[in-house]
Every structure is written in C-alpha cells, then in structure tokens.
Amino acid sequence: MQILMIALLIVIGILLFGFVIFFHELGHFLLAKAAKIRVNEFSIGMGPKLWAFQKGETLYSLRLLPIGGFCAMEGEDEDSDDPAAFGSKPVWRRILVVIAGGVFNVVLGFVLMGLTLIPQEVFATTKISKFAENSALEAAGAQVGDVITAIDGYAVYSDRDMSFGMALANPDAVSITVSREGQRIDLGPFPMAYQTVSGRRVVTPDFYVQPERRSFFGVVKRSFTYTVSMTRMALESLKGIVSGRFGLNEIAGPVGTVQAISVAAEAGLSESFGKAVGNILQMIIMITVNLGVVNLLPLPALDGGRLLFLIWEGVSRRPVPQKYEGYVHAAGFILLLGLMAVITFHDIVRIFTG
C-alpha cells in the first residue's frame, strides 16, 4: 500500500513540475497577447498532439507528455514581415515578454509559499531566545534578544537565510553579526559544533530563536521574504558551482529531481499524506524559483540570453541579425543539452551506487 502511495505522490510531483514549466510559458503567452504579438500555438504538454482547436490566430493544443508546454510566437526565431511578429514590436515590449516567464515562476513560488505557511501556527524568527548548554555563540558574546543579521557575510533577513548561512559556514571559523538595541556587533570568527551531511561539515546551531504567532499579514510578509530568500539561495548556489565550492554530486537534473521528490514524499508519508504533499510543495517551490532565476541568466538558449540581445538592441538602436543570434542560441542549446546529459548520467549513477 505504501509503495502505491509513494508512486501516487511521485506522479503528483511530476505533474506539479510540469505545471511549473507550463506556468512559465503562460507568462510569455499572456504578455505576448498583451503586446499584440501573434502566438501561433500555445500548448499544454509536450510530444504528440492529442487534441487541439483554433481560436483566432492561435492554435491551442493538448499534448501527450505532461511536462510543461510551449508558446510559439511569430518571428521569434526567424525573420518575419508580419506586423504582429515578435521582431516588429518595440524593444521594451519584447523585453517584458521575454522576462515574463521567469517572473511568473517567482510569483508562483510566492503563492505556493503562502499556501504552505497558512496551516502553521507559529513561525521562527532570527531573534535569539535562549542558548544551548556550553553554547559557542554565547561564549563569543551573543546575548538573549540579539537579532542575527549576517553569517560569514551572508545577509540574514529570515530564519531560512539563517539556516542557509549556517549550512555554508566553515565550522572552524564562523563569523556572526547581530543587532543589539540598534547597534551592529560582529562576533567571531569562532568554532562551532557540526555534523557531517553528505560528506560536508554543516554547523549545528547551539541556540534557539523566538517564535512568532501566525497572522494574515505575517503570512504575506513571510511568503515574500521566503521567496526572496530562495532567490538569493539560487544565486549563491550558482556562484558556488562556478567557483567550485559545490561539486557535481550536489547538482541534480530531471532524474535527480524526481528522486528528490520521491525521497521527500516518503519522508512525509511517515507522518501523514498531507505532510507528504507539503514536502512535495516545498520541493516545487524551490524548483519554480530556481527555474525563474536560472532562466533569466545571460546565457545563450535561455530567456536571459535573449534579454541580453534585446538590451544590446535597445542601447545601440541596431538589432543583431536574426541568423547570428540564432547561431548563438543554437550553440548554447547544444552545450546545455550536453550539460544535462552529464548531470542526468551522474544522477543515474548516484541512484544505483547510493
């Protein structure tokens, strides 16, 4: 029975993952329509077409694989004389259309975050309420009532920032900044206790924070700060990958993501079905925010790459020829596929080797 429940939860996770991609494309679609750009086809799903109907200039289709969708705009990847083509519109309109997908992903993360927070009675803050016995932080000079504002230079605005900062910190030399009666006080560096997680040493907090009771405005504010926190985490993680701080073992592709969803579902199922769904939602929030951030990076084949060309056109008043831009995006797409192949292979190896 539990195997069937886990299988059901994995299917739910995959459908939610597909919805994240679909919502991304919906952002492009709605802004394209608002900008009076011709959308030739808007599809829910990928692969073979199951059902379709034409309404106005757009073909709306439902496809077999529930893994997202696409928004095919006239003149997006080729020259077109159509006055409603993507390339015929002012640069500022095209910029809004291009960034809409990533923005929609972040907005979706905000909404889902709110849904996961509503059932909670209390929330954690960054204000120290008491210390554990033999606390290294207390020995370094922290006091009850201090508000943690930074860990090793990483700004802390929420308890999630605090947890992420602790995860990145070097246990041998942790530097923590607190706010006390309006004054900034730097503590450290000093050593803290740690535990080993997946081969990495992670600081174990030796203090407790003050709780905050749930309120309507508190949920809205926390949904916003948590979404911002996840956006910052995504950027910091990318910096870690580029700098070599994080290895291939800490990167997951589609296969690794499905595995992570199954692990989260199984962990939650030990408590209740609702907890399992909540865990999956947390994974989906992380995925949608990361997708929104990564997609806006100035890299070929991504929306951020297109944005870079549009900014160049806006500044120089001269568009890059479509064929040359196409070459750049095609090369980027090939490199992206290669990277995904490597990550997917590593995901599979990791599953079989544990």
Positions marked active-site? 25
Rg value, the chain, Cα: 23
Instruction: Say how far apart CA 203 and CA 259 lie, in whole Å.
Output: 26
**DSSP notation for 71-105:** EEETTSSS----TTSGGGS-HHHHHHHHHHHHHHH
Instruction: Say how far apart CA 2 and CA 196 lie, in whole Å.
Output: 30
* Cα 103 → chain centroid: 11
CB-neighbour burial class of residue 178 (10 A; exposed 0-12, middle 13-18, buried 19+): buried
Beta-carbon contacts of 102 under 8 Å, excluding residues fewer than 6 positions away, are 24, 27, 291, 292, 293, 295, 296, 303, 304
Where do the H-state alpha helices sit in 244-272? 254-269
